[in-house]
Amino acid sequence: MSKKDIKLSKLSKIVSEMADDIKIEGLDKAFFEAFEMNIEQLTDTRQQSKVKHRLGDVVGIVFFALLADIDEWLEMEFFAIDQREVLGKYLSLENGIPSHDTIERVMSIISEEELQSLLVEILKDIIIRATTDMEMPLYTHDELGISVTDIVAVDGKETRNSGRKNAVDKADMRNLNELNVQSTEYGITLSSTRIEEKTNEIPEAQKVLKSLELRGCIVTADALNTQKETARSIVEDAHADYCLALKANQRNTYNDVYDYFQSEDIRKELQNDPRYYKREEEVLSNKTILREYYISERIKWFSDKDSWKKLTSIGYEKKTIRRADGSSVIEERFFLNSFKADAELLSIVVRRHWHVENLLHWVLDVTFKEDKLTTREKKALHNLGLMRRFVLSILKILKEYYGNISYKHIRRRIGRTFEKQIPIIFSVIKELYDQGRLEKQ
């Protein structure tokens, strides 16, 4: 069974183990100074002669506010006023605290692509520096020549209640839709792009995948993005492999794969070899879940085989849920894969795909109350979402340091004792940069 955010989980445990040795000596501003310096490199389209508040100050306030359980623009202004003395140790605030309208307006003019690239690079720098001694592949199978470094999940997310019902422009009436590309191994969002509506997710996914270098990774996607051109983009442009879910939107392909795995003789034959069959049973308090994974390379019969770039195997997951009351339900999923038949690997990939739902989308809704935000300006809302994803990754690093509490409660604790917590957080990050310290663990 795959593990949650392996690199970040291990990193979080290291932070917890070294907590007693971390010395908070004055203000450690190294991380934030580097963060602010990068922010100042963003393109600022404001008329400079009229600018009162530095870009770094505005984005810095958003960053600190999100850490401290503040999600709305007006609350951010009040937070900055209340915490002005503490914030003044990190931000210049030469002309005081910007209004909530100014904060929102500045976040609406920042380039989404520039901000995303900057935040991803900062996170990758922290995590890769601090996990150099963990650089083992996620999964290997020497006999098959398989070595996988990451499972990258592609999925769309709609932010409910973000549309304006009475807007004149139809685009403003629609909720914000985003396409997220999530590294399940590092627990960070590699790409989050704004799309006008759900139907635009397919070309956007292909565009994003063409821009990413994912060598050594397996890309997963739901049935909407199971497209021949998407498979081609993954293999030829991202230099990765794929595991694409099948549903009726690819009717003929789905029916062919479905019929193949419905054969009891074929399933029995696959069950005789652990390379082609894997069984997992999970016992919960009110139900038992049996997962069976079948995979086959015998696809010469598949008439559409050559239309799918590098199609190598097909997969089948049968999930049987038995409830305490004696009732049961069966769920089936089918997949097209560009990797060799390996049931163990298929099980990891299929389970990992749900990280983007369970460890990103769900957390954003519950911890950051994304679906309840009153912001309606789409670009500002999207940039705020990029900042939330960045802060979420910082919280994941700190998770074990704060003990067995939710991200929501970590944010609340930071907010309650802000002046005390911020130096601790920055000191922890400084320790992660200290390779010598980590090598002694």
Among residues 334, 359, 384, the one where a domain terminates is 359
Q: Are residues 151 and 274 in the same domain?
A: yes
Q: Is 393's pLDDT higher than 70?
A: yes
Q: Are residues 223 and 341 in the same domain?
A: yes
Percent over 70 (pLDDT), the chain: 85
Tell me the C-alpha distance between 344 and 332, whole Å.
18
Among residues 327, 359, 391, the one where a domain terminates is 359
Any domain includes 131: no
Tell me the C-alpha distance between 186 and 284, whole Å.
28
pLDDT digits (tens, 9 = 90+) for 270-310: 999 999 999 999 998 899 999 999 999 999 999 889 999 99
Q: Are residues 209 and 325 in the same domain?
A: yes
**Domains identified in the chain, total number:** 2
Q: Are residues 231 and 292 in the same domain?
A: yes
pLDDT of res. 322:
94
Q: Are residues 200 and 321 in the same domain?
A: yes
Q: Of 2, 8, 4, nearest to 401 (Cα)?
A: 8
Q: Are residues 233 and 162 in the same domain?
A: yes
Any domain includes 433: yes
Any domain includes 364: no
Q: Are residues 27 and 63 in the same domain?
A: yes
**What's the Rg (C-alpha) of the chain?**
24
If pLDDT is split at 50, 70 and 90, which confidence band does 314 have? very high
pLDDT of res. 436:
37
Q: Is 385's pLDDT higher than 80?
A: yes
Q: Are residues 230 and 151 in the same domain?
A: yes
Q: Is 55 helix (H, G, I), strand (E, B) or coil?
A: helix
Contact 140, 146 (CB under 8 A): yes
Q: Are residues 314 and 165 in the same domain?
A: yes
Q: Is 264's pLDDT higher than 60?
A: yes
Q: Are residues 391 and 354 in the same domain?
A: no
Among residues 359, 391, 425, the one where a domain terminates is 359
Any domain includes 240: yes
Tokens 């652990």 locate to 274
Q: Are residues 120 and 142 in the same domain?
A: no
Any domain includes 37: yes
Any domain includes 133: no
Mean pLDDT of the region 399-406:
82
User: Residue 240 is part of a domain; what is its CATH number?
Assistant: 3.90.350
pLDDT of res. 134:
57
If pLDDT is split at 50, 70 and 90, which confidence band does 53 have? very high
Any domain includes 236: yes
Contact 130, 438 (CB under 8 A): yes
pLDDT digits (tens, 9 = 90+) for 118-150: 998 888 777 766 665 556 788 999 999 999 999
Any domain includes 365: no
Percent over 90 (pLDDT), the chain: 56
Q: Which residue has the higher pLDDT, 187 or 347?
A: 347
C-alpha dihedral sign at 204, 209, 211, 212? positive
Q: Of 248, 115, 238, nearest to 181 (Cα)?
A: 238
Specify the range with the lowest mean pLDDT, choosing from 10-14, 39-43, 278-282.
Answer: 10-14
Tell me the C-alpha distance between 208 and 243, whole Å.
17
Give the residue numbers spanning the domain of 396.
Answer: 6-125+373-439
Q: What is the value of pTM for the model shown?
A: 0.84
Q: Is 168's pLDDT higher than 60?
A: no
Q: Are residues 299 and 386 in the same domain?
A: no
Mean pLDDT of the region 343-370:
85
Which pair of tokens denotes residue 159? 């932010």
Q: Is 372's pLDDT higher than 80?
A: no
If pLDDT is split at 50, 70 and 90, which confidence band does 441 have? very low
pLDDT of res. 171:
58
Tell me the C-alpha distance between 381 and 370, whole Å.
9
**CA-to-CA separations, 153 to 3, 187, 301, 364, in angstroms, rounded:** 15, 11, 29, 16
pLDDT of res. 18:
60
